[in-house]
Amino acid sequence: MGNLSADVIVQGILLGGLYATAALGLSLVFGVMKLINLAHGQFLVLGAYLTSLLVSAIGGDPFLSAIPVAILMAAIAYPMQRYIFSPVMSSGEEAPITATFGIGIAIQTLLLIFFSSNPRSIDAPYATSQLDIFGVHVRLTLLIATLIGVATVLVLTFVIKKTQFGRQVQAASFDPAAAGLVGINVKHTYASVMAISAASASIGGVLIALSFAIAPPEGTNWLLRAFTVIVIGGLGSLSGTLYGGFIVGLVETVGAEFIGPQYRDLVVFGVLVLILVIKPNGLFAKRVRK
């Protein structure tokens, strides 16, 4: 039996911040397009690997290398949505989900071909650093991930609620056909949202690789964790994704402390089922357009 110390609680919250940051792109795409992007986990891994490659080639801080990688990921995701996902979205829910699954498998296969299945992490002087704040040990990379997650939610919420692009996103989310009739390019809007999602995922992947080793097959595990976060938080709710991440992180660390680390997944998914029984739409369900 473990002890519920302040360290356990803080580490759980900060781990949840990392989970939330990794899940934000998945939440955004579902909130706007009602599309479950099964390639999201591989977007995370691809962003981590490309950043690791760039850091190895030119050196410097990983976050500086993450900026051009995020732009590249957005540039890849835009035509992917515009010319692969959007054309099949009118065929029903199954076709676009299947398309994202296929893209995910393709990305994983390419990563295995070029990098093998060996886990890798991104090295940085602060990757294993800890801060002592009022006697509580805080892992720096998890703190950075949490701050980035909070900042991303605030920025995306502002963009969606206060900008012209955000109004187009809300209109396309609410009624794509009506949005098209008033002159909104829905396919362009959807593709832009997917680009933002991929860029966000690449940053999340960098944060994961700074905190843990990552390998191409693990994209599925991170997709499951991200999906758990957005389901608990409420599908399509950006702020709910943040809260959902905190809940999953706390449940995981507290469960590992009291029951054992080998049962952490059992505890997390058990809590997921319990929450869905009580609130099928998640704890903080709210559509992006509201």
For the chain, what is the domain count? 1
- Does 263 reside within a domain? yes
* pLDDT for the residue 134: 74
- Does 1 reside within a domain? no
Q: What is the DSSP letter of 259?
A: T
* DSSP per-residue codes, 85-119: IHHHHTT-SHHHHHHHHHHHHHHHHHHHHHH-S--
Residue 116 and residue 215: Cα distance in Å, rounded? 8
CA atoms within 13 A on the CB side of 145: 37
- Does 80 reside within a domain? yes
Tens-of-pLDDT digits for all 290 residues of the chain?
Answer: 456 778 889 999 999 999 999 999 999 999 999 999 999 999 999 999 999 999 988 888 899 999 999 999 999 999 999 999 998 887 777 889 999 999 999 999 999 999 888 888 888 888 788 888 777 888 889 999 999 999 999 999 999 989 999 999 999 988 888 988 888 999 999 999 999 999 999 999 999 999 998 999 999 999 999 999 999 998 888 999 999 999 999 999 988 888 888 888 888 988 899 988 888 888 887 544 43
The residue range of the domain holding 42 is 6-278
CB atoms within 10 A of CB 244: 30
* pLDDT for the residue 287: 47
* pLDDT for the residue 89: 86
* pLDDT for the residue 2: 54
Q: Give the N- to C-terminal CA distance of the chain in Å, as an integer.
A: 44
* pLDDT for the residue 195: 97
- Does 285 reside within a domain? no
* pLDDT for the residue 285: 72
Looking up residue 88, the CATH number of its domain turns out to be 1.10.3470
* DSSP per-residue codes, 152-205: HHHHHHHHHHHSHHHHHHHHHHH-HHHHHHTT--HHHHHHHHHHHHHHHHHHHH
- Does 290 reside within a domain? no
- Does 288 reside within a domain? no
- Does 17 reside within a domain? yes
- Does 44 reside within a domain? yes
